[in-house]
């Protein structure tokens, strides 16, 4: 094993992080190579800097004027658009994102968490976590209604086992006991749990009481000696439409809860800040006994994965977002307007569904947030998807042939009722 990896492992020894690292995670480190030496030179090499492979002129990167001229004059320096980004992301953006996280999650105040690391979108963040913390013989626990990419990333990329539990109770609430029993079924008393709120595909977020119950159940397991890594996928964070809904991330409940709980927040500007194509995600770590030295070692292992896969993440996107967050006069107003519009569509959809209450062909799962809602289907969801597409030119998503997802985020308010009627009509035609 490389000496730098050994050094990081010694720093993390006997922590919950140490217990969760995969073999790749154990071996991973951030090399003191070109990137590290270039960063050091950037601070001290005031005479000549002949480190990084980037063509420069007069201290700025060379560029295509056909690209640079698309930006308003003097809005960005060439270095803010064309340079490489630091391995962990733009420092200002990381600081701004953490500050915003603390505002959105007031209970994080005073708790020790890492500075978020920038990833190339949330999917990349999950892939980084899979490589660092999962492998064959490990188990990831997820709800039965979950994003299909989890299985691809954890099950097929790193070959971890997948255990599911029913997302809902019979009463249509989050299934805390089902989650607990799924975790207890793992023989080695060590598990990774991944929860996504608002949930994709259902659009469900637990209530404040349910979120507290989830945290209490996990703390109880940790108290009994079980070691847990809990990943909060907060891709749709902030899109909450009901008063009872929990508005703080599960990460805030767990990051300082117990020595046997390693809490990780994986989120992104993608939906929160409506920059889907920018591919800017973040990983933030938390744990009761983790110190700054532990976070530094953990971050270096994370940077090693990023360095060995994508090297570094998108620079212009980070610069644009940081400028909007810091100086944008309409940053908060535009985000609020988008949330308000999504809530309006949500309420129109809830009303449109009332017309079809009791129809046995499609049973809506409870939903209260996010971009989506989903149905439990009596017939083949794939047959319904194809029928709607071929006959009515309507596109929806089939999940495992038993769940049918509508993304109302992309349907205008005045079309939502028509969409719902068409879906029920098509179900009657396709399955009869």
The DSSP line for 366-422 is P--BSSEEEEEESS-HHHHHHHHHHHH----EEETTTEEEEEGGGS-HHHHHHHHHH
pLDDT score for 34? 54
Question: Cα separation of 226 and 192, whole Å?
Answer: 11
Q: Which residues contact 329 (CB under 8 A, 6 or more apart)?
A: none
User: Which residues of the chain register pLDDT less than 50?
Assistant: none
Give the fold, CATH level 3, of 3-30+85-327.
3.40.640
Mean pLDDT estimate for the chain:
94
Q: Is the peptide bond before 116 cis (omega within 30 degrees of 0)?
A: no
pLDDT score for 46? 60
The reply to whether 332-430 shares the fold of 3-30+85-327 is no
pLDDT score for 53? 79
Contact 255, 287 (CB under 8 A): yes
pLDDT score for 403? 97
- The DSSP bridge partners found for residue 270 are none
CATH architecture assignment, domain 332-430: Alpha-Beta Complex (3.90)
User: Would you list the domain boundaries of the chain?
Assistant: 3-30+85-327, 332-430
pLDDT score for 246? 98
Tell me what percent of the chain is helix, strand and coil, each rounded to the nearest 5: 45, 15, 35
């Amino acid at each position: 094993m490389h000496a730098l990896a050994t050094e990081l492992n010694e720093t993390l020894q006997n922590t919950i992080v140490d217990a969760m690292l995969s073999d790749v995670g154990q071996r991973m480190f951030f090399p003191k190579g070109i990137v590290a030496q270039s960063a050091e030179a950037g601070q001290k090499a005031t005479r000549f800097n002949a480190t990084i492979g980037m063509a420069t002129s007069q201290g700025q990167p060379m560029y295509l004027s056909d690209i640079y001229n698309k930006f308003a004059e003097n809005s960005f320096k060439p270095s803010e658009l064309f340079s490489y980004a630091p391995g962990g992301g733009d420092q200002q953006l990381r600081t701004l994102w953490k500050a915003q996280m603390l505002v959105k999650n007031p209970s994080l105040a005073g708790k020790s968490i890492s500075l978020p690391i920038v990833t190339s979108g949330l999917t990349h963040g999950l892939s980084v976590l899979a490589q660092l913390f999962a492998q064959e013989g490990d188990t990831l626990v997820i709800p039965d209604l979950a994003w299909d990419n989890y299985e691809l990333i954890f099950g097929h990329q790193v070959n971890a086992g997948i255990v599911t539990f029913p997302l809902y109770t019979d009463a249509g609430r989050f299934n805390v006991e089902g989650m607990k029993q799924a975790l207890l079924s793992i023989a080695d008393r060590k598990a990774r749990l991944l929860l996504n709120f608002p949930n994709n595909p259902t659009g469900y977020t637990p209530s404040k009481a349910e979120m507290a119950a989830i945290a209490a159940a996990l703390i109880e397991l940790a108290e009994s000696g079980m070691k847990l890594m809990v990943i909060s996928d907060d891709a749709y964070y902030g899109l909450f439409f009901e008063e009872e809904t929990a508005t703080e991330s599960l990460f805030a409940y767990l990051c300082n809860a117990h020595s046997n709980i390693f809490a990780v927040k994986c989120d992104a500007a993608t939906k929160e800040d409506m920059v889907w194509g920018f591919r800017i995600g973040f990983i933030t770590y938390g744990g009761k006994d983790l110190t700054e030295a532990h976070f530094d070692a953990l971050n270096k292992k994370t940077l090693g994965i990023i360095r060995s896969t994508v090297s570094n993440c998108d620079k212009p996107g980070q610069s644009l977002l940081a400028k909007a967050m810091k100086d944008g006069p309409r940053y908060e107003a535009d985000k609020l307007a988008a949330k308000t519009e999504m809530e309006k569509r949500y309420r129109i959809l809830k009303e449109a569904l009332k017309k079809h209450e009791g129809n046995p062909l499609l049973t809506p799962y409870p939903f209260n947030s996010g971009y989506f809602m989903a149905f439990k289907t009596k017939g083949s969801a794939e047959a319904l998807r194809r029928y709607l597409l071929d006959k009515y030119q309507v596109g929806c998503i089939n999940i495992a042939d038993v769940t049918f997802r509508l993304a109302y985020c992309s349907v205008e308010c005045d079309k939502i009722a028509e969409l719902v009627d068409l879906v029920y009509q098509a179900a009657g035609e396709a399955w009869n």
